[in-house]
Chain A
Amino acid sequence: MADPTEPVRTRAEIAAAIRAFSPAQWARLRAIAGHYHALGCPMEAKDLLQEAFRRALDERSCPVSVDIVRFLDLAMRSIRDGELKRAKRRPVLVSPSPAEGAPAPDAIDPAPNAEERLTAADEDGARERERQEVIGLFADDLAAQVIVEGMMEGTRGEDLRALTDLDPTAYQSKRRLIRRRIEKAIQGIKK
């Protein structure tokens, strides 16, 4: 839980910290944005980063104890979650029949029409295919597949390792393999 009394960085301090990023810090940010985009966020990685910069500078409070890369990661996560929620709601603008001679105001119709239902079904189908494709990347490696499915379920830490017979070192190495394989697959899709 954030301490409400903790001082926060000023806009200038946040900008200065970002300008002083090392290549590794920039690489982390780029990798994270790539993962969010490739795994469901409708915004391109660069757009996601730019929006995170904007919010980090003008909207969000950054306590002095929070690492700036983590702070930007949380901003991207929040943007991604907002985009996903919006995609789920899918409100539609319709024009109700106007009273005679009166212009009809636009209104939100929560019930999608047939075409919109088809589009939504296409999107849902695409997400499910993506999920299957990611799992399929590890068809040759049962332990990795179990870990990936566990991550998808929200299992974490020791509970996740306990799903496999791996010791901590082998487990870390497996997680690294998972990350690299997914990153390479993302690049493959883009090329």
Chain B
Amino acid sequence: MTTNSNDARDALRRLADALAEDVLSAPDSEILEEAAEIHGDPAKLAADMLKLFEQTMSEQGKERLAAAREAVLADRRQPAAVVRLPPAEARRRLQQLIAADPETARKLTVAARKGEGLSDDDVQSMLEDFEELGVTLPGDTEGPEK
């Protein structure tokens, strides 16, 4: 028989496990009868338990939503991945974009429209501006080729 406190804790745990097994194997009628004696109407007990479950689901849903929101914010805080094209290709793409979107191109300087006197960094910067404005070439799926 049990003799010390840890044994007492384990003894109670084993008793609870054995009783749980009995509850699982008992017929429905017995379980409902016992529930009625202890908790009152079993239908009300079932409704209360379902409410507890739905409350858990709702709390979980809110936690998931908060986590998703946080992930989006964290993503926004990350600097945008800038893809640097080879200079010649970047200039070719810039000319194509200007040709494809004259409306936006009109806002640029003449030099910029012709791509003359622009450094490679200027070209890259303008490509990024186009991308931010959502100006793409036919065949682009997510902006410039990455």
A39-B16, A179-B19 in contact; A21/B46 too (CB < 8 A)? yes
A88 to B46, CA, bound (A): 35
A66-89: which have CB < 8 Å to B? 69-70, 73, 77, 80-81, 84, 88
Q: Does A154 lie within 8 Å of B35, measured CB to CB?
A: no
Instruction: List B residues at the A interface (Cβ < 8 Å).
Output: 1-2, 4-6, 8-9, 11-20, 22-24, 26, 28, 30-32, 34-35, 37-39, 42-43, 45-46, 49-50, 52-53, 55-57, 60
Q: Which residues of A contact B15 (CB under 8 A)?
A: 39, 134, 148, 151-152
Q: Which residues of B contact A21 (CB under 8 A)?
A: 46, 49-50
Question: Chain A, interface size: which category?
Answer: 35 or more
B7 to A: closest C-beta gap in Å: 8
Q: Which residues of B contact A8 (CB under 8 A)?
A: none
Q: Does A36 lie within 8 Å of B45, measured CB to CB?
A: no
Q: Which residues of B contact A113 (CB under 8 A)?
A: none
Q: Kindly state whether residue A131 has any CB partner on chain B within 8 Å.
A: yes
- A-B pairs, top 10 by smallest CB distance, nearest first, are A124-B5, A27-B35, A152-B11, A24-B28, A39-B16, A151-B18, A23-B46, A26-B46, A128-B8, A39-B12
